[in-house]
Structures are given as C-alpha cells and as structure tokens.
Amino acid sequence: MSISGFLDKNSFVRIILPFALGIVFHCYWSVPAMVSISALAIFAALAIFLFRQNGYKSRWACGAALFLSIAALGSAMAALNTSPNVVSDAGSRKCEYRASVTGTPSVGEKACKVDMRVEAVNLLGEWHDFDARIVATIMKDSAAAALKAGQTIKFSSRIDTLDMPKNPFGFNYSQYLQLNGVQGSIFLNPGEWELADGSVHGLRQHALNVRQMLVGLLEKAGLEGNELGLASTLVLGYKNNIDAEVKQAYMNAGAMHVLAVSGMHVGIVCSVLEMLMFVLGGRLASNFKRLVIVLLLWVYAFITGLSPSVLRATVMFSFLELGRLMRRDMSIYNTLAASAFLLLCINPDMLFKAGFQLSYAAVVGIVSLQPRIVRLLPVNRRNKPLRWFWELTAVSIAAQISTFPFCLYYFERTPVYFWLSNVVVSPGAVLMIGLTMLLLAVSPVPVLTKIIGVATTYAARAMNWAVMSISNLPFSTIENTYISVFQAVAIGATILAALIWLRTRNCNWLMGSLASFLVFITPFSASAVRNSSTQALCVYYSPRNALAQFVDGNSSYWVQGAIGDARQAALMVKGGNIFWNSSRSADVDMRESESGRMLARDGFFVYDSVSGLMISDSTPRFKMKQPATLDFLIISGKPAIKPRQMPKNLTFSNVIIDGSVPPWLARDWERRYANSNVHNVRQKGAFICQLASAQNK
C-alpha cells in the first residue's frame, strides 16, 4: 500500500502529525494564543477558498493550507493550556493559603509528599481566588499520614518556584514537574498546616481513595513488601510499595513496562470483563454489554490514576468496543491516532511525557513489525509451545526496536536480555493480574482470601526473583548510551523510514533511512573531535560530597573530598564522564598526587597552566612566605582552617564554595573573599569553566 493510500484509510494519522508539530512549535517559541488562532482562521479560509476555486487541481496547495491550519490548531491548544506563572507573581510572599489534595499522598519514613491545587489566598483578611498546582513536602505525623485525596487544608507559607537543575546532567526534575503542570513547591512542619475540610471532593479523588481501599484489602490478605508492591502496581497502578532496587532490576532486564499500567493491563481487564459477561446474548444484550464494558474500563482508568498509558489504552479499547457496537471494523493505526488526538486536545503537554511517547511507539512497533519478525523464522503450527515462545519474543523485539531512541535518550541504557525477560513477565503479568483481581473479588470471604493471598504472594515472589536473576546476568545492560534530542529524532526518523520502506518497498524511503542514520552518527564523531581539545573545570553540586572534575579532552581527573555518600558520588562520577565524553578518568589525592597534567600536594594543585587550592576538613592552618595569586580556591565540607585564618598574602581569581559547605559557613567565606569572583554552588548550581579563559575571569 502506498503512503497516500495509507493516509486515505487512516484519516486521523493525517491530523495527528501536524497537530503534534504545532504543539512542539509552541513549546519552543511560545506563540501567543491569539496569533495561533489568527493563523488557524487564515489558513483554514485559504484552504476553503482554494478548494472552491480550483478543486482537484489545487489539491497540493489546499492540503498544505490544511496542514498549516491543523498545526496552528495544535499551537493554539497548547497556548490555551499554558497556565500563567501565578507562583512567581503572587505566591512568593508568605501568606495563608487554602489548597485541595489532588493525588494520593506518598508516605515515607520522615515525610509525606502531596500533590495539591492551591485554590485561595488570604490577603488582608479577605480570601481571593488563586490557582496553582504545587508539590508539598509535609513532615510526617499522624495527621499527615491520614491525609486523603480530595480533602482541603490551610497552611501559612511561601510557595517556592521550581529550581532549575544544579548539575549539567541528570534527570531534570523541575522540568518534569512543569510538564505535569506543577508550578511550585512548599515545605511544611507539623503545626504549620491544618485540615480545613475533611470531606472528599472530586470524582478522580474519590476514585484514588477507592484505590487506597483496594490496596488495604491486599494488605489484609497477607501481601507485604515487594509482593504487595508488584500486585498493587500491576493492577492498581500504585507504585509506592515497591522498592527502588526491584524497580532498577526491572529496568535492567528490559521489563520496566510491566510496572506501568498500560495497554497490556487494560487489555487483560477487558478480556476478563468479556468473559464475565459471556452470558449476555442477543443483539440488544450484546449492545448493552459493550456499553457496560466501556463504562467499567473508564472506572478502572480512574482508579489507576489516569496515567497517559492507561488513558491511551482505555480510549483505544473504548473506540474498538464502540466500533463493534456500530458493526464497523476500525484500523488500529486510525484508532491509535484518534486516541492520541483526543488526549492531546485535553492536555497538549502530554506529548512531552516519556510514558506517552513510549506507549504509542511500542504499540505502533508491535503492530507494524511483529508479524514481519514472526515470518523471518517460520515455526510449525503444530509445535504450539515453540510458536508461542517465538511470537512472544517477536513482540518484545518489535517493541524494543520502536522504543529504542526513547530508551537511549531517557534511560541512557539498553537492556540486552529484554527478549528473555518478556518471555517471563508477559505470562507472569497475566497470572498476577488474574490472581490479584480474584483476590479482590473474594475479599469478603476470609478463607478464600487467605488461600488466594498465599498463591498471589508466591507468584509475585517468583516473578520478582526471575526478573532480578535476569538483571544480574553478565552484560545485562549497555550503559552510558547518552544521546541528544537531535540524535534521538534522527534515529527515530531512521526507524520510521525503514518501517515505511518495508510497507511500500519504495527505495526512496530506504535511502531516507540511511540518510537519517548518517545524521544520527555524525554528532558522535563531531563530539569526539570537539572534545579532544576541551579543557575545563567543573565543581558539581552535591550536598553530601565534594566533587570536582578536571576535563582534558577524552580524559578527566576527579578530585573527591571527604565522601559522605559513596553511592551518590559514584553516580555523579559516572554522569560527569558521560556528559564530558570522558572515556578515561583517574582519581586525584590532593594530599600528594602526580598524574598526567595534574600535580597536587597538601591541597595545592597545578593543572597544565592553571593553579589552585582545595581546602576541606583535613586542611591544616598554613602560612605563605611570599605573596601569591592562584586561579581557584575550592572550599568543601567544614574546613579546619577558618576564613579569617587564611593567609592575607594569598589571593584567588575564583572562589568556589561547593554544595557540601553549610550555608552559615558559606556566608563567612563569601565575606572573606568579597573582592573575588565567588560562586556558591548550593545557590547557583555547578561551577563550569573553560580553563583556557580561567585566568581572564
């Protein structure tokens, strides 16, 4: 089938592409809503005019005008969805606020994290409307642990704006919150807040509280620890009970998707509902059954928290059920595009969420590639176990290929044994979902609850053990696969062009795929050439560690102070090497070390033509016989030498106070070197300096 024929059959695919481009356009250039709406009106009028004047003869011009009008519609929807930054305008003052709890509180050992929507502010004794989504960290007590979604609290505090990331690499948590509509954060101690309204408001909040009740039923059935975490995650989308170690194992094994309620989970629930209603026969009863299934699917979606993957799957299955109701066969591509269009109309920011992108990419890859992969290795239909194994493996291979650029960009790693883990987790997930749903159904019967609870516990334990065993196999992941957005788009275009070539057999698409691949690999070689001559100093932000990196092309020298958290330090070193493309790195002991370009003794160091001093907890008091000016002073921890005890005839061009220095002590150092270029890493983020220009700063 040609591309034009495919687009004619799948009209929503024609719509979703320019619509998504319009959202991206607004994200990068912040086009005002009125400009987008005006462009929409102009291009739509132009399309209608061209169609009426020339009809078929001007189809290309008319199509271009329609494409631009739909892109303008996407930009307008994104602009209308953007909330004003009320936090920076009015929320930075300490005031009394009233806010509703919008999500299920996450209760930790010392604090609770709560998603809230601030609804009103008290100014001069009068309440005024106020609208801002925030994340609250509340120190744990009995009142905080008892908070429920939909309740209303009052608090007196200042709403802080979201800080930008303080290191040049790593997960951008503030950007993640902003894409989810969060505009600020607060920290509350006991006594700084009170419950204003204990009743629950909002349909979604009621559904989230029902989910908490169902999690409680699983706990009463005897499930605990990671077994409870797996069951509640698979069926209810509640992830707070599963350990970070287990999550990491699922990620390393390439089975992380099973921990996010998605199309597979919704499909299993839909199948269970179909079986439960098989008794309904006749046309009217069948129509009623379809409507009930759609209604129950949406109830399930609300209980699981309406995540992007659940929304996508629920919309898609709803369209399929309604198509059956109308006796119409619907194209899977058209159904996917229609569901994506609907979700993006509701929330355009969803386009930039990793879950949304991975979910749609995986389904498109499975639909497009899985049948072709199965045909590569024909298996006798009589050999059902082997055929089942190969078809399941083909599903995981197809999903891995289609999500490959997203995994490289978001997770910076590639699982090697994904094909093996999916053979384990796919039937395991079906068994776990079935057992957990049965356990919830028989919860009023104590004897059955105990029996099925034991079976569910052992099934969850076996599934977790299998996944962790696969993740511990040698070479289970290929790590440090950092790529830029540009490279991710290029490799995505490579895969898409290859898919179109497989469908159309048009060699132009094959050439396009090869060209995209060249675009993808070019930045790697260019980066290597560019980085081979880079010399830089980076002092990272880390509250519990002192970490500085001297970059020398593809090599780097790491200076580490008194390590407070060795695991975090190892992650920082790994992230820094990825960011600077350092294939070789060495640790430097500031007491005495000589390695390559780096020479250090008693905290003083010389790196090529740059000199400096790093003082920490172990640095003793010293004197200078001759006046000297060094390029850098790096202060970490709680130095034994006080600011006033530093030699007056020793000066520095740059003074860097790293994140391990307490704020009260950092102020003393800032006052001592007020005439120098002082950089407080805790406040300003990581200090990055190209060493060629260090002496000129």
What confidence score (pLDDT) does residue 92 get? 54
Q: For position 68, what pLDDT does the model report?
A: 94
Mean pLDDT of 58-87: 83
Task: State the pLDDT confidence band at 53, using cuts at 50, 70 and 90.
Answer: confident
| pLDDT score of 694 | 44
Cα 630 to Cα 599, 607, 678, distances in angstroms? 14, 12, 14
Contact 185, 137 (CB under 8 A): yes
- Categorize the per-residue pLDDT at 695 as very low, low, confident or very high, splitting at 50, 70 and 90: very low
Report the alpha-carbon distance of residue 549 to residue 538 in Å, rounded: 5
Give the residue with greater pLDDT, 659 vs 320. Answer: 659
pLDDT tens by residue, 183-203: 888 889 888 899 998 888 887
Q: What is the pLDDT confidence band of residue 277, given thresholds at 50, 70 and 90?
A: low
Buried b / exposed e along 329-344 (16+ C-beta atoms within 10 A): ebbbbbbbbbbbbebb
Among 13-22, 221-230, 520-529, 604-613, where is mean pLDDT lowest?
520-529
CA distance 367 to 507: 22
Q: What is the mean pLDDT of residues 535-548?
A: 87
Lowest mean pLDDT among 207-221, 222-236, 474-488: 474-488
When pLDDT is averaged across residues 229-251 and rounded to a whole number, the result is 85
In whole angstroms, what is the distance from residue 653 CA to residue 650 CA? 11
Query: What is the DSSP track for 593-617?
Result: EEETTEEEETTEEEETTEEEEEE-T
For residues 21-25, average pLDDT: 92
Q: What pLDDT sits at residue 533? A: 67
Tens digit of each residue's pLDDT (9 = 90 or more) over 636-691: 988 888 999 999 999 999 999 998 898 899 999 999 999 889 999 988 899 999 88
Position with higher pLDDT, 48 vs 570: 48
pLDDT for the residue 89:
47
Q: Give tens-digit pLDDT for 587-622.
A: 888 888 887 778 888 889 998 888 999 998 888 888
Q: How far apart are CA 682 and CA 544, in angstroms?
A: 11
β pairing state of 126-139 and 184-188: parallel
Per-residue model confidence (pLDDT) at position 410: 78
Q: Which of 151-160, 425-434, 671-680 has the lowest mean pLDDT?
A: 425-434
CA distances to 119, 144, 205, 540 from 149, rounded to whole Å, are: 15, 12, 5, 38
What percent of the chain has pLDDT above 70? 88
Query: Band of the pLDDT at 59, cuts 50, 70, 90?
Result: confident
Closest CA to 397 of 254, 201, 199, 496: 254
Q: What is the pLDDT of residue 523?
A: 55
Q: Is the pLDDT of residue 632 over 80?
A: yes
Above 70 in pLDDT, residue 1? no
What is the overall mean pLDDT for the chain? 82
DSSP sequence for 386-411: HHHHHHHHHHHHHHHHHTHHHHHHHH
Q: What is the mean pLDDT of residues 471-499?
A: 81
* Assigned token pair, 388: 């089942």
Give 279: exposed, middle or buried? Use CB within 10 Å, 0-12, 13-18, 19+.
exposed
What number is the average pLDDT over the span 73-94? 70
Q: Lowest-pLDDT range, 203-212, 283-292, 537-546?
A: 283-292
Query: Is the pLDDT confidence value at 280 over 60?
Result: no
pLDDT at 86: 52
Measure Cα distances from 406 to 354, 495, 572, 624 in Å: 8, 12, 22, 55
Overall average pLDDT of the 108-125 stretch: 87
